[in-house]
Amino acid sequence: MASRQPTIRTLPSRRSIVAAALAFGAALALAACSGPPPATYDLSAPRESVRAGHLSGALAIAEPTAILPVNSDRIVIRTGADSVAYLSGAQWADRLPRLVQTRLIESFENAGLVGRVGRPGMTAAYSLVTELRRFEVDVTRNEAVIEISARLVTDRAGSVVAAQVFSATSPAPATQDGQAAIALDAALGDAMRRILVWTTARI
């Protein structure tokens, strides 16, 4: 009876392991790049006339402050009291704070309520300083929720003239196919109209 020869297994070298890992990583990167790009959504500025006061001088509108996850170009979804996520396959056209700043400026320009409005750096009597506290679709309540803290500051002394928190909601029965962005845009439009009226009534 012939004796059975032992099986010899050669362990891969360290170099071959590293090479295989790099190849695997490259394959994953290529797979990610080959996927469809995320859908990009914009926000709009109210265009209808608003009953408010008038400012003969100039108003500087600062870029809103925000913390993650709002300070990004991703659409935030609240999934629970203490949990949030980003909407898969979707993004804003710019970082959200910068996008909101642009639409706020457009809102004042469209209403024709101030002599001159723009970004910080211009000569202005007042500055509108805001903070994005919430800008999300709450899927537990099926609604878009926005909360913006606003302060009016004199450019010369830097003193706060007035401060208020603006909250707005809009129905959001779905998040896919742009529905989340549409609901958030509607809520933002409501908040911006009230910020516009509040601002011009105090300066």
Instruction: Give the pLDDT band of residue 50 (cuts 50, 70, 90).
Output: low
Instruction: Specify burial of residue 24 (Cβ count, 10 A radius: 0-12, 13-18, 19+).
Output: exposed
CATH topology of domain 39-200: Rossmann fold (3.40.50)
Tell me the whole-structure pTM to 2 decimals. Answer: 0.81
The rounded distance, in Å, linking the Cα atoms of 53 and 164 is: 18
CB contact at 8 A, 43 and 178: no
- Per-residue pLDDT of 123-156, as tens digits, reads 899 999 999 999 999 999 999 999 999 999 997 7
The rounded distance, in Å, linking the Cα atoms of 107 and 2 is: 92
